[in-house]
Amino acid sequence: MNIVVFGAQWGDEGKGKLIDILSKNVDITARYQGGNNAGHTVIVGDEEYVFHLIPSAILHRHKVCVIGNGVVIDPQSLLKELDDLKKRGLNVTPGQFKIAINAHVVMPYHRVLDGLREGKRKHKIGTTGRGIGPCYADKVTRCGIRMVDLLNPKIFKAKLEDNLSEKNEIFRKAFGHKEYKFEEIYKEYINYGKMLKPFICDTALYLNEQIAKKKSILFEGAQGSFLDIDFGTYPFVTSSNSCVSGVCSGSGVPPTKIHKIIATVKAYTTRVGEGPFPTEFSSKMDNEIRTKGKEFGATTGRPRRCGWFDAILVRYALIINGADELAIMKLDVLDELKELKICTAYRYKGKTITDFPHDYEVVSSVKPVYETLPGWQASTRGIRDFSKLPANAKRYINRLEELLKVRIKYISIGSKRDEIIVK
């Protein structure tokens, strides 16, 4: 069975933990979009791992991990991840890790351009500054550099010269920034190509060959549905298709080969950076949940904004992604609250809205309509059976299931690998 795991909020939903759990029962785990702006955290015993490019399943030593063509790759960041794993006793081999030959490469000028553009904006988007957007922009405008180019010095030289001619003019005229020198980048990235060559292959062909051999694949999404370039709260989004629709274009696997889709959400809502957030807490509550839930970005360290569970937001994500099952993460963060609220509708100019609006002015101005439920004020840590959860915790989960109309199968009650309830 081939499974997709995606986030149904604004990212940081706990996908890394769920993927780590599910990957032990599949043969291959594949990333299909995003770049090193992702941050998937996995805790094994007392060890914490944060992955930005490498799929979380790499900790299962006999599984294969794939970076698909829809991912943009910063070679420097990727090599650091590989080196960090080696230092921690895990030497990743080409047999267990593969990189798409046609994945696009994040270049130094992409990172700088990302920061310079954000600095000039009157209304900040909240970019991670990793060069992801500019890299995808080059991909779309057909001037991007791909992994395969790093293996061909002649082609890479020609592409890099063309790109630097354009980019240096932008740096000079638009930002008054220093120009990049060809030789420095050329030598650095040719060397990256040599180091990564053993891992580079036609991953689309590989994945389809493995499917034909009855091997199972877990597709690992990055970011969240409401950061999707098409369906997210634009322009406060990422630059790729983080919805399930990105699986096929980002991996080369046809939709007929996807058998199950699992959505991941937090028991509340978080968002990093700028953009509308209808259910955002007041500052006191925000700080309380942020501290208890350790809500700081795994990639940037930025504090996450926190708020009540938004059923309107999540229901839309479940619909457009065709979710079959749902995982609720970080239920334990709510253990001490006297009462909880679920947003079941919005109010805008005297009207009730029950579908998520895409007009920026509307989504920025709506007032949430809440349903209030009693808290359970008891620890859920250590519980492994749904029936043994506090009555009000079960009531909260059951009400979410009613509102979202998708079966909740997984409930996380702690950060460690084994702290999960399978319902």
323: Cα within 13 Å, side-chain hemisphere: 27
Cβ-based neighbours of 283, under 8 Å, separated by 6 or more? none
248 Cβ partners below 8 Å, 6+ apart? 254, 255, 258
By CB atoms closer than 10 A (0-12, 13-18, 19+), residue 305 is buried
State the CB neighbour count (10 A cutoff) for residue 254: 11
- Check if 104 is active-site: no
Give which of 212, 234, 197, 210 is closest to 98, Cα–Cα: 197
12 included as an active-site residue: yes
Name the active-site residue from 20, 27, 40, 52. 40
Listing DSSP states for 140-186 in one string gives HTT---BGGGGG-HHHHHHHHHHHHHHHHHHIIIII-PPPPPHHHHH
The number of helix segments (H) and strand segments (E) in the chain equals 12, 20
Distances (CA, A) of 246 to 68, 224, 254, 282, 302: 11, 12, 11, 35, 27
Backbone φ, ψ for residue 220 (5° rounding): -105, 110
Give the residue numbers annotated as catalytic, written as ranges: 12, 40
